[in-house]
A and B are shown apart, each in its own frame.
Chain A
Amino acid sequence: MARYAEGHDPSFAVVYANIGARLLRFLRRLSGADDVANDLLQETLLRMHVARGAFRPGAAVLPWSYTIARNVFLDRARSKKHSSLSLDGLEQGGVPEPADSARAESQVLAKETARAVERALSRMSDARREAFVLIRFEGMSVADAAEILGVSENAVKLRAFQAYEAIRAEMARLEQVPPPGRSR
């Protein structure tokens, strides 16, 4: 990234190869839909390109690019006012079809749990979702997440904790519902 910021254009391909997938997943988690995440990724790349001169030498690329991606997401959320998030992407997600009946039940359960997590994430505020996603799924420290979100570490902890509670509540509701095929 430092070379790219200095004007070496081919380095952008290296940057993209290293962080593109993580950026896409981050945007997918924020937006809740694959097609939206793809659009947001394109806009993020554009803004990274325009802002490259402001990249501080020696700084980590991920927090910098996550912050731009978050700006893009927030801009879209404000302009579209899309508060309801799609769960379509999960259908294309990583839970494979069951290979045999012995594994089918656990895979169905895993899929339901994943859906419950996505459902809870989609229902909470952007602020809570961002904090939780950065810490739990993107592996950021509380300090780095606070820098990215522009708030105090306590605020990040509180938001992530509230998100965690909401997800746990959704998962608890799921556990009370009997799995398919055992309802009678």
Chain B
Amino acid sequence: MSDSPPTLPPFERIPDPLEGAAPDLPPLPPLRAFPRSRTRDELRRAVATALVLGTAWLGGQLALMGIRGDLAQLPRGYLLAFGVLPVIAGVLCLLSAVSAGRLGLGARTALLAGLSLFTPLAFVFGAALGPLPYAGAAEGDFRDGVVCFHLVVAWTLVPLVLAGFALRATFVGRAGFRAAALGSGAGLLAAAAITWHCSIPGSLHVGFGHGGAILASVLLGALVLARVTRA
């Protein structure tokens, strides 16, 4: 059974029930009756402010908590995979979330969904299935994983709240996917930050303690932030 018809049938055969009916257009309510809204420049400034504050928050947390002690022992590939690439992926997620797309309704659903799901899952499975970065590295136990999970989620909350405040009621189309991409972006940036702090490079610890928090952030975006940002 085919999923879609090859061509559309002659829709013009269907008469328009409202043809010839002149709609009784009500008068435009006075704008003073509406709540104050932000102009394009004000919205841009709000987004830029949120981005600066969110980055400062993550950087400040990292500065406060300190850089990991085993940095010299870590291979460059490990730092690239879990400390740098997530930053790039996170920025891509954020850009796709705020992108206007062809009609100003947001980027394509497939792109948003792909970035929101693929990048966190790549982090989780890349870490969980990868080897220990160096001999004798700490693997961490379940409690360590829970601590890091909570830490990364806490780190993502501030950027998510800032994003919600800056972008409230502005996502005209695909609000769920765009908010999920925001969650993914914030989660990836926070996970990259914790890579530079947490000195436990165990596969399961990084995969589920750090990566699981990214997935939690995606869910927070899709389920909570979407309600705030939808126009």
Which A residues form the contact surface with B (CB < 8 A)?
A: 5-7, 9, 12-13, 16, 20-21, 24-25, 28-29, 34, 38, 41-42, 45-47, 49-57, 59-60, 63-64, 67-68, 71, 90, 92-96, 110, 113-115, 117-118, 121, 132, 135-137, 142, 144, 147-148, 150-152, 154-155, 157-158, 160-161, 164, 167-168, 171
B196 partner residues in chain A, CB cutoff 8 A: none
Which B residues form the contact surface with A (CB < 8 A)?
A: 3-5, 8-9, 11-26, 28-29, 31, 34-35, 37-44, 100-105, 109, 169-174, 177, 230-231
Using CB atoms, name the residue of chain B closest to A136. Answer: B11
B26 partner residues in chain A, CB cutoff 8 A: 38, 41-42
Interface pair B231/A54, CB less than 8 Å apart: yes
Interface pair B18/A148, CB less than 8 Å apart: no
Number of A-B contacts (CB under 8 A): 170
Interface pair A71/B40, CB less than 8 Å apart: no
Q: Shortest CB–CB separation between residue B1 and chain A, in angstroms?
A: 11
Interface pair A94/B20, CB less than 8 Å apart: yes
Known: A50-B169, A150-B174. A136 touches B3 (CB 8 A): no
Interface pair A6/B39, CB less than 8 Å apart: yes
Known: A50-B169, A67-B173, A147-B103. A45 touches B28 (CB 8 A): yes
B101 partner residues in chain A, CB cutoff 8 A: 147
Identify which of B11, B105, B231 contacts A63 (C-beta below 8 A): B105
Bound CA–CA A121/B173 (angstroms)? 24
B39 partner residues in chain A, CB cutoff 8 A: 5-7, 52-53
13 pairs, A vs B, C-beta closer than 8 Å: A20-B25, A47-B231, A53-B40, A53-B42, A53-B44, A54-B43, A92-B21, A94-B19, A148-B105, A150-B109, A157-B8, A158-B5, A164-B9
Interface pair A167/B37, CB less than 8 Å apart: no
B170 partner residues in chain A, CB cutoff 8 A: 51, 53-54
Bound CA–CA A150/B106 (angstroms)? 9
Interface pair A21/B25, CB less than 8 Å apart: yes
B14 partner residues in chain A, CB cutoff 8 A: 117, 136, 164, 167-168, 171
Bound CA–CA A13/B11 (angstroms)? 34
Interface pair B103/A60, CB less than 8 Å apart: yes
Interface pair A20/B28, CB less than 8 Å apart: yes
Known: A54-B231, A150-B173. A42 touches B29 (CB 8 A): yes
Main SS at interface, chain B: loop
Bound CA–CA A53/B40 (angstroms)? 4
A171 partner residues in chain B, CB cutoff 8 A: 14
Using CB atoms, name the residue of chain A closest to B46. Answer: A53
Using CB atoms, name the residue of chain B closest to A41. Answer: B26
Interface pair A59/B17, CB less than 8 Å apart: no
A34 partner residues in chain B, CB cutoff 8 A: 24
B43 partner residues in chain A, CB cutoff 8 A: 53-54
Bound CA–CA A79/B35 (angstroms)? 23
Bound CA–CA A47/B105 (angstroms)? 14
B173 partner residues in chain A, CB cutoff 8 A: 67, 147-148, 150
* Given A21-B25, A47-B231, A53-B43: 10 more A-B contacts, CB < 8 Å: A7-B41, A25-B18, A49-B37, A50-B35, A56-B104, A64-B105, A67-B172, A93-B21, A121-B17, A148-B103
B41 partner residues in chain A, CB cutoff 8 A: 6-7, 53
Bound CA–CA A118/B16 (angstroms)? 9
Bound CA–CA A143/B177 (angstroms)? 19
B20 partner residues in chain A, CB cutoff 8 A: 93-96
Using CB atoms, name the residue of chain A closest to B99. Answer: A56
Bound CA–CA A63/B16 (angstroms)? 20
Known: A53-B38, A94-B20, A142-B8. A67 touches B105 (CB 8 A): yes
Using CB atoms, name the residue of chain B closest to A142. Answer: B8
Using CB atoms, name the residue of chain B closest to A161. Answer: B5
A45 partner residues in chain B, CB cutoff 8 A: 28-29, 34
